[in-house]
Structure 1
Amino acid sequence: MNLFLFEIILFILSVFFTGLITAAEIALSSFGQNKIDELKDRGESIWQKFQIVYQNPEPYYGTIHLLSLTFLISSVIFGFLLCAKLINPGIVQPKVGFYDDPVRLIISFALTIISIASALTIFSYLIPKAIGFKYSDLLGRLFVVMLIPASRLFVLPAKLLNSLSDFLLLPFKEKTNFAQAKPSEDEILDIIADGVKSGAIDEQEEKIIQNIIEFNDLKAGEVMVPRTEMISIDVNESDENLLRNIILTGHTLIPVYEDSIDNIIGILHSKDVLKMLLESGTITSLRNLIRPAYFIPETKLISEILTEMQQRGERLAIVSDEYGGTEGVITIEDILEEIVGKIKSDAITEQKEYYKFPDNKYFVLGSMQIADFNEVFNLTLPESDEYNTIAGFIAERSGKILSPNETVEFEGVKFELIKKIRQKMVQFKIYSDNNDFREKS
């Protein structure tokens, strides 16, 4: 066998093994913990080998990279020799026209480099990468069996190279390792975006994944329903107002306070109220129905809150500020909506904007739009650019923010403020003395 043929064989083998290791590394990296657990559940003994590599990847990926670099360098050397002989012998035999034609020499060098780079890119990277992804299961199984014993030969060289790299990186306070780096959040989002473009992931799935990634950074204060919008009741509330709150809001769990919303004393479950009404016909003692409240700081991560709520069996938490005041309320549904988006369920009653009691009195939310009010009732309130809601109309007409039980009259109809949170007028009782205020027929 002449030297030229020998160099061809060595070049082909070097390129082949470089590509094989590239494909094998891609295949091996596809076996994460979930896939390993699936192998274990199916009773395949090979899961143990994958588990060994997954738990301690450093020596095994060190072996992969050292082998890959060895064959890559070998490919470059033999590729250079072959191309040089074919394109311009003067490159490897300086006496043969080496100085005679420098332009030809430069062109020969360029063609040699382009030829080697093209061959290695195609046969050692692009094709092996595609094969590695397509046959990841088969290649991963074959390679992991050979990798574990082979790694014993490369443990010492890998450690020496790592130690040398760490020493050189001392000024930068960094360390190196052969194991694959964990992808950053931005890299994961880029991968997801590519998946959407290719059709492998739809836009809804992309949104959920983005929400999950951002989920860990969210705090209670960013997700909660603020105190100005939360529904709560005074422990000394009348039976009428208590039932009104339950019916108007449709909420199952309602915070209960004493004197001030900053003094939450517990949580009322609507089913406890209904049970007492069925058994005794009246609400004898609201305090006896109150369950302990679960308090959290507004700076607490919602990922931690979700875990705690699952462990404690809680569905609602009171968000407190650093001084112990009430900032808002957060529910399991609020947290889950940060992941999957708005949840709409027949089991969850939408908050009603008004409710009629048997005495022809109506309880209306201050946030009800003037236009909606005029469509529902036989009283036409004036519309204005200065306000859009019932609360805005009352504030404009009275020139102030009402206190609870204060009344404003318009065309014989009385608007009595029932509930106020800070400076927000939340609920009104609306009625007329002659009972002619009613809904449109």
Structure 2
Amino acid sequence: MILSFTILLILIVLSGFFSGIETAFISLSEIDLIEIEKSNRKNRRILLHLLDNKEKLLSTILTCNNIVNISASALNTILAPMYAPILGISEGLSIILSAGVLTIVILLFSEITPKSIALYHNVELSLVFAPVISVISVLFSPITYFFDKFSKILNQIFTTKNSKKHNLSEKTIINVVSRGEELGVINENEKNLIQNVFLFDEREVYPIMTPRTSVFALMDSMRLSEVKNELLEKQYSRVPIYNDTIDNITGIINLKTVYSHILNHKQDSRLIDLAQDPIFIYETLKISALLEQFRLKHNHMAIVMDEFGGMAGLVTLEDVLEELVGEIYDEKDEIDISIRQIEPEKWLINGNIDIITINKKIKGEIPPEGGFEVLQGLIMSNLERIPLIGDSLFIDPHRYEVVSMKKNEVTSVIIEYQPHKSNK
């Protein structure tokens, strides 16, 4: 009886071994395999050889695990009647109880526990036990060959043509990229760029456009001589022109064309004669589709229309590219991240500066209520909309005025210390 119990215990341990090693092999990611292949770790060649034929590997492990579990169950059934006199119960009840106990033991010690351990130590366990599994694979090859062929026949019957293709989901690739950053294979900028590429198709034009209220546009009937100074001062690379109202955009002027006409003394030209045909799009257009329109039409600016046919704003190629690579600054762009005191109790502050930093520099304290980290979050929350240039509000003890915007972001704000005043 002691020998039988010893054999049963060995079978339970073997069941746990095969369950754990199955999880270890299957949970190896592409990044793990790349790292193993690049390393000089012992047994790496054996492991990679096993993984070259995953179907055979899985068949070997599952076959062994099932043989062990069936053997344990059979041996337990043989031993069960011996418990009846000891426990003072019938043989039938003894068989039922022993089967229940064995099931619990296998679940805890041969399934859940070894698989949990293997999941967190998959690389180490796979490398250590690869030679053992390789030998077992050779010994059981006649049996696994039969099961492998049988499973392939079933796959051909039940698997459709399209489902045979191994398609990685976007989520899987993004997870692999994040794992790659953790391992140092790629850096943070590369990770962000790759993730932005996958999110590209899902993003719409509306969040990245410059809103109508911030658009600089000119009447198409004006002559170049009337507006050249303003155009050169603004330094926009492209400017929309309109007829009567800004809702009726008739073209886009390229600053290169303006320079050319000035140099050739053609300043009497009307703006409409210098313009390219505009691209009109709706707010819900995906930015990936917009990028394709820019490519096909050789134009880097599009007019965004709202659901009523009016102008909602405009979007440029630069706006689209910033969704991929982050903020792009021209040489003429001013990158102001400072807090500048312009009067004894008045400060000009960038909208993206955190409130903790601001409170250290100005008179009076911005209240911490609301949980906002940066200044523009505080302003947007209190206005309950996207701010406009010139918007002002009072939050005791300060008056806030929005003085510049870029797209939908507050770029600079004047804060004035006005204790004990109310917002009128």
Please tell me the TM-score bracket, short chain as reference.
0.5 to 0.7
Cα 1:224–1:392, aligned 2, differ >3 Å: closer, same or farther? Answer: closer
Work out the CA distance in 1 between the residues paired with 2:277 and 2:128. 56
Separation (CA, whole Å) in 2 of partners of 1:131 and 1:215: 36
Distance 1:298 1:332, change over 3 A: same
1:319 partner SS: strand
Corresponding position of 1:280: 265
3-state SS in 1 of match to 2:312: strand
Q: Contact 2:11–2:72 at 8 Å: present in 1 too? A: no
Q: What secondary structure, in the 3-state scheme, does the structure 2 residue paired with 1:284 have? A: coil
After the TM superposition, which residues 359-370 of structure 1 pair with which residues of structure 2 at under 5 Å, given as runs? none
CA shift, 1:233, in A, is 1.9
The answer to whether 1:154 aligns with 2:155 is: no
**Alignment of 1:249 onto 2:234:** yes
Deviation at 1:243, TM superposition (A): 2.8
Secondary structure of the equivalent of 2:242? strand
Matches within 5 A, 1:22-421: 22-27=23-28, 30=30, 69-78=62-71, 91=80, 93=82, 95-100=84-89, 112-113=102-103, 115-121=105-111, 124-133=114-123, 153-154=147-148, 156-157=150-151, 160=154, 214-239=199-224, 242-280=227-265, 282=267, 284-310=269-295, 312-321=297-306, 324-341=309-326, 343-347=327-331, 349=333
1:274 aligned partner, one-letter code: Y
Question: How many correspondences in the alignment?
Answer: 325
Mapped to 2, the partners of 1:212 and 1:331 lie a distance apart of: 18
1:20 corresponding residue in structure 2: 21
Does the C-alpha gap of structure 1 residues 285 and 240 become closer, same or farther in structure 2, counting only changes over 3 Å?
Answer: closer
Deviations 1:157-187 (A, max 9, x none): 47759989x9xxxxxxxxxx899996685x9
**Amino acid aligned to 1:289:** L
| 1:383 counterpart residue number | none
What is the RMSD computed on CA atoms of the aligned residues?
A: 6.0
Work out whether residues 235 and 257 of structure 1, in 8 Å CA contact, stay in contact via their aligned partners in 2: yes
| Matched-pair contact (CA < 8 Å) for 1:22–1:68 | no
Deviations 1:348-391 (A, max 9, x none): 5359xxxxxxxxxxxxxxxxxxx899xxxxxxxxxxxxxx9997
Confirm or deny: 8 A CA contact 1:265 1:292 kept in the other structure: yes
Distance 1:132 1:194, change over 3 A: closer
1:436 is aligned to none
Q: 1:296 touches 1:317 (CA, 8 Å); kept in 2?
A: yes
- C-alpha separation between the residues in 2 aligned to 1:350 and 1:334? 17
Cα-to-partner distance string for 1:134-155 (whole Å, 9 max, x where unaligned): 6989999xx99x9xx9788436
Instruction: Report the equivalent of 1:425.
Output: none
Change in Cα spacing, 1:330 to 1:139, as seen in structure 2 (3 Å) is farther
SS in 2 for 1:291: coil
Matches of 1:200 and 1:107, distance apart in 2: 53
2:329 alignment partner AA: S
C-alpha contact (below 8 Å) 2:16/2:111 kept by paired residues: no
Name the CA distance, whole Å, in 1 between partners of 2:279 and 2:328.
25
How many Å separate the matches in 2 of 1:240 and 1:282?
5
Give the structure-1-normalised TM-score: 0.51
- Larger mean CA deviation between 216-225 and 280-289 belongs to 280-289
C-alpha distance 316-63 of structure 1, shift in aligned 2 (>3 A): farther
Identical-pair percentage: 25
| 1:345 Cα deviation from its structure 2 partner | 1.9
Code of the residue aligned with 1:305 in structure 2: it is: L
Offset at residue 244 of structure 1 (A): 4.4
List per-residue Cα deviations over 1:298-340 (Å, max 9, x = no partner). Answer: 2211122234434555422222345654332112222233445
Once residues 139 and 263 of structure 1 are traced to their aligned partners in structure 2, the CA distance between those partners, rounded to angstroms, is 73
Contact in 2 for aligned 1:302/1:335 (Cα 8 Å): yes
Task: After TM superposition, give the deviation of residue 273 of structure 1 in Å.
Answer: 0.9
Letter matched to residue 203 of structure 2: L
Look up the SS of the partner of 2:264 in the other structure: helix
For 1:287 and 1:259, the matched residues in 2 are separated by 13
Q: What TM-score, normalized by structure 2, do the two folds share?
A: 0.52
Aligned CA distance change for structure 1 residues 295 and 284 (closer, same or farther; 3 Å): same
| Equivalent residue number for residue 366 of structure 2 | none
What is the Cα deviation at residue 294 of structure 1?
A: 2.5
Unaligned runs of 5+ in 1: 40-45, 54-59, 167-176, 352-370, 374-387, 394-441
Q: Distance in 2 between matches of 1:178 and 1:95?
A: 53
- Deviation per CA, 1:78-116: give whole Å up to 9, x if none: 55678x69xxx9646354435449999999778755543
Q: Equivalent residue for 2:396?
A: none
Superposed displacement of residue 237, structure 1: 2.2
Equivalent AA in structure 2 for residue 117 of structure 1: L
| Paired amino acid for 2:209 | M
Change (3 A) 1:129 1:391: closer
| More deviation, 71-80/248-257 | 71-80
1:249 and 1:350 in contact (8 A); partners too: no
d(CA) in 2 for partners of 1:106, 1:267: 84
Q: CA contact under 8 A between 1:236 and 1:258: conserved in structure 2?
A: yes
What amino acid is aligned across from residue 333 of structure 1 in structure 2?
E
